[in-house]
Amino acid sequence: MNSEYEMTIGIECHVQLATVTKLFSPADNDARGKGPNSVIDPIDFGLPGMLPILNNRAVELAVIAGRAMNAKIANVSRFDRKHYFYPDLPNGYQITQMYHPTILAGLVEAPMDDGGFVKVRIHHAHLETDAGKLTHYGDYSLVDLNRAGTPLIEIVTEPDMHSPQEAKAFAAELHKLMVYAGVTFGDLYHGNMRFDVNLSVAPVGSTELGKRAEVKNLNSFRSVERAAEYEFKRQVALLEKGERVVQETRGWDDASGRTSSQRSKEDAQDYRYMPDPDIPPIVLTNEQIEKMQENMPQLPPFYRDKWSNLGLDKSVIDSLLAHQSYAVLISTIQDNAGDEIAKRVAHWFASGVSTDEETAEVASNFVPEGYVELAKMVGANELSSTAAKEVFNELLVSDKSPRDIAEEKNLLQVSDESAISAIVDEVLTDPASAKAVEDFKAGNEKVIGFLVGQIMKKSQGKANPALAQKLIREKL
Partner 1 sequence: MTSISDYMGTSAVVNVKRAIEAAKQHDEFHALLALTEERALERATKIDETEVKGRLAGVPFIAKDNFLAFGAPTTAASHFLEKFNAPLQATAIEKLEVEGAICIGKANLDAFAHGGSTENSTFGPTLNAVDKERVAGGSSGGSAVVTALGIVPFALGTDTGGSIRQPASFNGVYGIKPTYGAVSRYGVVAMASSTDTIGCFATNASDAELVMDVMAGRDSHDATTLPDFFEIADVKPGQKIGVIKEFMTDDVDADVKKSVNNYIDKLKSTGHTVEEVSVPLLKYALAMYYIIVPAEISSNLARYDGVRYGKRAEAGSLSDLYGKSRDDGFVDENKRRIMIGSYVLSSGFFDAYYMQAQKARTLLINAFNELLESYDVLIGPVTPTPAFKLGEKASDPIKMYLSDMMTVAASLTGMPAISVPSGNTNSGLPVGVQLIGQRRSDAQLLALAKSLEESV
Distance between CA atoms of residues 290 and 73, nearest Å: 10
Q: Which is nearer to partner 1, 190 or 265 (CB)?
A: 265
94 or 198, CB closer to partner 1? 94
Confirm if 157 and 141 have CB atoms less than 8 A apart. Answer: no
Least distance from partner 1 to the Cβ atom of residue 82, Å: 10
Task: Choose which of 28, 36, 50, 119 interacts with partner 1 (CB under 8 A).
Answer: 50
Instruction: Check the CA dihedral 33-35-40-44 and report its sign.
Output: positive
Residues 3-42, one symbol each (x = binds partner 1 by CB under 8 A, - = not), give: ---------------------------------------x
Q: What CA–CA distance (Å, rounded) separates 149 from 63?
A: 19
Cα–Cα dist 328/349, whole Å? 12
In the complex with partner 1, which residue's Cβ is closer, 140 or 189? 140
151 touching partner 1, by CB under 8 A: no
User: Footprint of partner 1 on residues 86-115 (CB under 8 A)?
Assistant: 87, 90-93
**Interacting stretch for partner 1, rule CB under 8 A, among 232-240, 252-260, 276-284, 311-319?**
276-284
Interface map 349-368 toward partner 1 (x if CB under 8 A): --------------------
83 binding partner 1? (CB under 8 A): yes
**Distance separating alpha carbons of residues 425 and 474, to the nearest angstrom:** 11
Looking at the chain, the number of H-run helices and the number of E-run strands are 17, 15
- Chain-centroid distance of CA 448 in Å reads 44
Using CA atoms, how far apart are residues 225 and 113, in angstroms rounded to an integer?
A: 14
Smallest separation, CB 55 to partner 1 (Å): 11
Using the minimum distance from each CB to partner 1, give the nearer residue, 73 or 89.
89
Among 45, 117, 366, 450, binds partner 1 (CB under 8 A): 45
| 52 in contact with partner 1 (CB under 8 A) | yes
Contact between 447 and 438 (Cβ < 8 Å): no
Binding window for partner 1 (CB under 8 A); candidates: 84-92, 118-126, 311-319, 444-452 = 84-92
Residue 301: its H or E element: helix 300-306
Minimum distance of partner 1 from residue 202's CB (angstroms): 28
Angle between helix axes 465-475 and 448-458 (nearest 10 degrees) is 120
Taking the complex as a whole, the smallest distance from the CB of residue 141 to partner 1 amounts, in Å, to: 8
Q: Write the CA distances from 151 to 66, 69, 78, 292, integer angstroms.
A: 15, 18, 15, 18
What's the CA dihedral at 385, 390, 391, 392 to 10 degrees? 80
Size of the site for partner 1 (CB under 8 A): 30
Return the number of the residue (93 or 221) whose C-beta is nearest partner 1. Answer: 93
Q: Which is nearer to partner 1, 41 or 248 (CB)?
A: 41
Residues that bind partner 1 (CB under 8 A): 42, 45-54, 81, 83, 85, 87, 90-93, 143, 270-274, 276-280
